[in-house]
Structure 1
Amino acid sequence: MKINRRRKKQPNSIFPLKVDKLKQIMQSKFENNEDLIFSIYEHQGKKIAVFFISYQADSDKVEDFLLDPLLSSKHEWTSSSILNEIPLGTGKTTVALEDILEKLLIGEVFIYVENEEEIVSYILLKKQHRQLSKAENETVVLGPQIAFTESLITNLNVVRWSIRSTDLVLEKIMVGKRYPREVRIVYVKSVANEVDVNTMRQRLQDLDIDELEDSTVLQQYLDDSSTSIFPQYYSTELPDRFSYAVRQGRIGVLTENSPTGFIAPTTFFSFFESTEDMYMRWQAGSFLRIMRFISMFLAVILTPLYVAAATYHYEIIPTAELITLGQSRAIVPFPPIIEALILEFLIELLREAGARLPTKIGQTIGIVGGVIIGQAVVEAGLTSSILIIVVALSALSSFTVPGYLMGTSIRVIRFPMMLLAGVLGLIGIMFGLIFLIIHLLRINSLGRPYLSPVYPFRWADLNKALFRAPLQYENKRFFSFRPKDLLRYRRGEAKRRHDIDE
């Protein structure tokens, strides 16, 4: 007696079915969209369907690598024989409709032989992304100049090229329920702290959102303190900085269709570091880093200090300068707080206009507009010439911060500080600074203290945060992040000098 041995249908499988029925399902899901190319061919008495999204898949590759060998063969095709006979390394099978729809939208091409229990897919993407180019927002003089692009595959290749290790993990997570987008967690398994990796993985997997616009938006979803103005992850477009942080034991995150990645955990002091600090002599690198901290402090306090002194505390101004200030403000009809707010608003207006206009026009607007408007407001008696110098110095100080998001936060903080100075004078400034310090003490980045290594205090990490020590003393990783392997190299071997005859 002949026994009919039928394969058990897999869960969520829509197969086997007729090719015409599959076409109806696909067209109904895509609302008869013309971008869905669904072709049916007759071969050896069987119908074969080939379908893909026209603007996602490369039609020339489909013709050369799939259709030619598929239709020119003399034997009957099955799902398993297609995978064996068509020599493309990206081939795989699936059975679920949701999986088919998801992969169609990212450029995969599907082949289905009628009444088979699986469908075959190949990745034949149409490459339409910009090539690697020089970074625009994070300008560096020394070191690699290339920047990330919108192509996740390209970005992963750049990181893999920079970190040539079998320990490098590029963990894939899909974020977004309605419009899923691929996100990669990048870390070195033998160095990164397992708790941090698990925390990042959990936060990404727990995200219940329809869509993900960009990596900078993803940071806001993952923030420990969503109400804080300070960024809690370092966003960068430089693969060099990204890879350096990953090698130190931190976690990088890359997002599909985003030209920036971000690093976690991070500290407040990380935003004042630049990749150039490592390429310079340690004296120059330390000087520049300390100068950035001083510039940040000046950007926050300089204009509020002028407002407080000109409103309540004339006694702190030297007598000779007080006479000049009085003469300069004699024709100004506004109190110092209004005067400062007007000028700061004009500076921010010029900065925003220069950033939004085309590059050449933006530079002209920034330079000529600043000179003309500055001279005009002084001659019109709307502000004093001394305040022009103070505001210009404050604006220049805010632009020395390498991290764009942190620089923007500092510029925003100036306005409430000026209001406090205008209402309470120096007491208001002290109140504002104390509030900022308390707020920074309460922030975490991926569960790690934001002000580390100052709080909690770690003497061993100060040379990595506040200044740059000679390389022979940089042999340990950042202890505050608890890496698995704290030692980068042996300090004794790094200091040893070898003669030519050794």
Structure 2
Amino acid sequence: MRKKRKQQLNSLFPITVEKLEQLMNERFENNPDLSISTYEHQDKKIAVFFIGYLIQSDKVENFLVKPLLESKKEWTNNLILNEIPIGSGQETKLLDDILEGLIIGEVFVYIENEDSAINYLLPKKEKRSLAKAETESVVIGPQVAFTESMVTNLNLIRWGLRSTDLVLEKIMVGKRTPREVRLVYLKSIANETDINTMRQRLQEVEVDAVEDSNVLMQYIEDSSTSIFPQFYSTELPDRAVYSLTNGRIAVLVENSPTAIIAPTTFFNFFESTEDLYMRWNAGSFLRLLRFIAMFISVTLTPMYVAAVTFHYEIIPTQLLISIGQSRAGVPFPPIFEALFLELMIELLREAGARLPTKVGQTIGIVGGVVIGTAAVQAGITSNILIIFITISALASFTAPSYLMGTSIRVLRFPMIILAGILGIIGIMFGICFMLIHLLKLTSLGRPYLSPIYPLRLEDFNKVLFRLPQNYQWKRFTSFRPKDLTRFSKNKAAEKKDIDE
């Protein structure tokens, strides 16, 4: 009975204009934004209906309604499609298609007693202008960032990759609120298995709505329980273009200012596009500095807690005297002291991020100075520990990826607890547990710790350090691109003067 009723509802035309208006109002709960206008022309009733704030009303008025009423022709659907070309008009017969079209900015024209309605896609899309990246700020290189407009983001990709080889597959994700998702890759380079895997995961997402690309990323990741992100989220078009030329895949989501890059390794999260634009030796130095900073951020404070709690013998005598003097009036054990300061740092950081820019900067600087000074004077913590906590906090900011930086910040807390309970043995246990977890992780089925595991020495110069561009003639082999060669190695080595 329900299936028969659904078929009756979908078999909408022909229908009277009055009945059509009544049906539309019922389905949209008498929404005042639904505009249904009825006109008399050549003894026929013509209905034009749309949702006002979703369409370009000036185009509807000047290029659709006005020609319809001013002409003395007896309009039919075919005649309208041929003589009023304001867009890719189509005929629609199903009620469900009309309801879905109205909410994405389509305008419908129905001539009474015709067996279908005509729809024109005339959406009015609100979008912000291009601006600098906020979470991935760079000093050297392109400054423009993605926006919430899919059209703008596709244009940015197209400007960066002027190639007919670029594929932009369209996939709709979401049941109640379908959202446009684009699967972007270079057909002659990207691995076919990776493309099929990503396409399948996107098509199998069964949710009501996808709010943002970072939400979609959590649905399609290999391991949803891991603290480490398995796909890279970027708001830089040049980073997306660079990834595509190296055989990786990008996913763009409508109304999201970030793109998903896959597959990704753990080391990709410490790369910056600035590394490409700098001299190779400076870029290598900065990349290695980020890896060292990550290790410092995770282990420095736990090492202090372990040393002060269990392992006094590893501390130099002069430093041990200073630590003893600074902790003489502190009533708490080192583990509570460290957790308290780490929590204060995170509170200041979160408050600074949520407040307006100028106020947030003031809160971060003044709050840190005031709380740190007051805590030392009150005997709650030692001044030496404040130095270690500050270095750890600064080190966590060096990660170009905000998602990876957040993961590192969270990891410090269990590491401090393990150090306070088991000392250096606890720290080693935490590091070994992280390594085992990273070894098990994959990104789109590819090893997360590549090229260290599995070992591929030829890929080291693409993740751990950089060689001059003349030596970067091969793509990252761990992702198994169709075409491994970026350019001819022999021709790149030739240097010809103008007189040769």
Q: Secondary structure at the match of 1:40?
A: strand
Structure 1 match to 2:287: 289
Shift of 1:96: 2.3
Residue 93 (structure 1) aligns with? 91
Matches within 5 A, 1:19-58: 19-58=17-56
Q: Secondary structure at the match of 1:171?
A: strand
Number of matched residues? 494
Contiguous gaps of at least 5 residues in structure 1? 1-8
Residue-by-residue CA offset, 1:348-386 (whole Å, 9 max, x unaligned): 000001000000111111111111111111111111111
AA aligned to 2:401 is G
Query: Structure 2 CA distance, aligned partners of 1:179 and 1:127?
Result: 17
**TM-score, with structure 1 as normaliser:** 0.96
1:376 aligns with 2:374: yes
- Report the equivalent of 2:414: 416
Structure 2 stretches lacking a partner, 5+ long: 1-6
Q: What is the identity, as a one-letter code, of the residue corresponding to 2:347?
A: L
Counterpart of 1:473 in structure 2 is 471
Aligned runs of 1:137-286 on 2, under 5 Å? 137-286=135-284
Match of 1:362 among 360, 363, 367: 360
Q: Whole-Å Cα distance in 1 between the matches of residues 153 and 226 of structure 2? A: 30
2-side partners of 1:207 and 1:459: how far apart? Answer: 37
**C-alpha distance in structure 2 between counterparts of 1:292 and 1:337, whole Å:** 27
1:281-304 deviation digits (Å, cap 9, x = unpaired): 100111000000000000000000
Mapped partners of 2:82, 2:192: distance in 1: 40
How many angstroms apart in 2 are the aligned matches of 1:445 and 1:11? 45
What is the aligned partner in structure 1 of residue 65 from structure 2? 67
Asked if the contact 2:16/2:113 (under 8 Å) is kept, the reply is yes
Change (3 A) 1:498 1:357: same
Give per-residue Cα distances to partners, 1:219-252, cap 9 Å, x unaligned. 1011111110000110011111112111211111
Distance in 1 between residues matched to 2:482 and 2:161, nearest whole Å: 18
Three-state SS of the structure 1 residue aligned to 2:13 is coil
Give the equivalent residue in structure 1 for 2:423: 425
Alpha-carbon distance in structure 1 between the residues aligned to 2:185 and 2:231: 15
Does residue 488 of structure 1 match 2:490? no
Q: TM-score, normalised by structure 2?
A: 0.96
The equivalent of 2:304 in structure 1 is: 306
Deviation of the 1:118 alpha carbon? 2.8
Runs of 4+ in 1 over 6 A off after TM superposition: none
Find the aligned partners of 1:447 and 1:271 in 2 and give their Cα distance: 18
CA offset digits 1:277-330 (Å, max 9, x no partner): 100010011100000000000000000000000000011100110000000000
**Using a 3 Å threshold, how does the CA distance of structure 1 residues 78 and 418 change in structure 2: closer, same or farther?**
same
- Residue 5 of structure 1 aligns with which residue? none
In structure 1, how many angstroms separate the alpha carbons of the residues matched to 2:93 and 2:72?
A: 27
Amino acid at match of 2:173: V
Report the CA distance between 1:164 and its aligned residue: 1.0
Q: Which amino acid in 1 is paired with 2:273?
A: T
Indicate conservation of the 8 Å contact 2:87/2:122, yes or no.
Answer: no
Of residues 34-43 and 427-436 in structure 1, the stretch that sits farther from structure 2 once superposed is 34-43
Matched AA of 1:58: Q
Instruction: Give the deviation of 1:108 after TM superposition.
Output: 1.5
Q: Which residue pairs with 2:442 in the alignment?
A: 444
| Corresponding residue to 1:134 among 110, 132, 135 | 132
Query: Is the contact made by 2:9 and 2:95 (CA closer than 8 Å) also made in structure 1?
Result: no
Specify the code of the residue in structure 2 equivalent to 1:287: F
Displacement of 1:69 in angstroms is 1.8
Q: Return the offset for 1:50.
A: 1.1
Matched letter for residue 229 of structure 2:
P
Judge conservation of contact 2:64–2:86 (CA < 8 Å) in 1.
no
Select which of 449, 457, 460 maps to 2:458: 460
Distance in 2 between the 1:65 and 1:348 partners?
A: 57
Output one character per residue of 1:178-202: Cα deviation in whole Å (capped at 9) or x when no partner.
1111111111111111111111111
Counterpart residue type for residue 100 of structure 2: E
SS of match in other structure, 2:53: coil
The residue matched to 1:55 in structure 2 has which SS? helix
* Equivalent-residue separation in structure 2 for 1:273 and 1:10 (angstroms): 58
For the residues of structure 2 that align with 1:346 and 1:162, how far apart are their CA atoms?
43
Letter in 2 for 1:319: T
Counterpart in the other structure of 1:84: 82
Q: Post-superposition shift, 1:62?
A: 1.2
Which digits, 9 at most, give the CA deviation of each residue in 1:57-110, with x for residues without a partner?
Answer: 121121122112222222122222222212234323332222222221111111
Larger displacement relative to structure 2 (235-244 or 411-420): 235-244
Distance 2:336 2:366 in 1: 24
Which position in structure 1 is the counterpart of 2:3?
none
| Counterpart secondary structure, 1:21 | helix
Q: CA deviation at 1:13?
A: 4.5
Change (3 A) 1:46 1:501: farther
Measure the CA separation in 1 of the matches of 2:499 and 2:77: 66
User: Could you tell me which amino acid in structure 1 is paired with residue 166 of structure 2?
Assistant: L
Separation in 2, partners of 1:388, 1:306? 11
Secondary structure, aligned partner of 1:41: strand
Q: Distance in 2 between matches of 1:101 and 1:376?
A: 62
- Paired residue for 1:397? 395
How far the C-alpha of 1:479 sits from its partner, in A, is: 1.0
Output the CA distance in 2 between the equivalents of 1:122 and 1:157.
Answer: 23
Return the letter of the residue paired with 2:86.
L
